[in-house]
Amino acid sequence: MKSPVWILFKAEFKRRWGLIPIIGIFVIGAMAAISFILMSIIPRGPIDIVKSLQFLLFVFSVPLIVIFFGTDLIAADIYDGWLRSILLQPVKRHHYLSARLFSSLGFTAVGITIAVLSVLATIPFQHKLYAPFDTEEFVVVCIGALGQAYVYLSILATLSCWLKGFMNVAVLVGWWIGGGLLYQYVSSKYWDSAVLTIAKEFIFPSGFVDAVSAFSVDYFPVSEFLWGIANATGWLAVAYWSMNKIQIDRSFE
């Protein structure tokens, strides 16, 4: 017997995959390629392709893709009655949330792949000097980008359980803007507080970002990746808790 999560995952993928998502993904990929070309205009020695991809993915492509597929992630299905109709079947709430998150992560993975391929496709047409391509670092960057995207999607799912429409994205964007300053303030002001030191890593999750930044030929950032997994697990738990607490019969109006 097939898992309810797998059945819902395929249904979610078919339901959400259409012309608009395809256009959105390729537009974001084209924007990443154009950004890479613009970054390469001013020669500053050999161009490090992997470092350029790291910057474009974490600063540009991943946030855009997550916003594109994470807006109204849960609230839309509550508002139009889709979630209620699903739960009339032998399906649990956590099955629905898992399928919803994994389908969104699948779209995000496709978007990241298109962005990376779009950037790499421009290289033969640019007569530039490039640094040696580090395959291991490239794999670490791609895995880190996907992991950070999953953290963002878990946060958006949590917010969308309580907020209607694009408000979950609006709150997350505000979180990104103000989070860096607040993170630095907590780190400097309360550096000796064990509780806040751990709490800020979950409130402002950056484990996968730190892991990719810390990677080098002589050091594989195991502890940073574990922090990233802890970030994702913590926010996933909050998303499941929120999913079990909300009233699916209520209207947002």
pLDDT tens string 209-233: 999 999 987 899 999 999 999 989 9
Q: Which of 46, 64, 250 is nearest to 164 (CA)?
A: 250
Domain carrying residue 175: 4-245
Q: Does residue 68 form part of some domain?
A: yes
Q: Does residue 197 form part of some domain?
A: yes
Q: Does residue 252 form part of some domain?
A: no
pLDDT tens string 164-200: 888 999 998 888 777 667 666 766 776 666 666 666 6
Q: Does residue 250 form part of some domain?
A: no
Q: What is the pLDDT of residue 180?
A: 66
Which residue blocks in 17-89 are alpha helix, DSSP H? Answer: 19-39, 49-56, 62-70, 75-79, 82-87
Instruction: Please report, rounded to a whole number, the percentage of residues in the chain having pLDDT higher than 90.
Output: 53
Q: Does residue 63 form part of some domain?
A: yes
Q: Does residue 44 form part of some domain?
A: yes
Type and span of the H or E element at 176: helix 167-189
- Local confidence band at 47 (pLDDT 50, 70, 90 cut-offs): confident
The number of folded domains in the chain is 1
Q: What is the pLDDT of residue 253?
A: 46
**Sequence-ordered list of residues with C-beta below 8 angstroms from that of 215, at least 6 positions apart, any chain:** 137, 140, 221
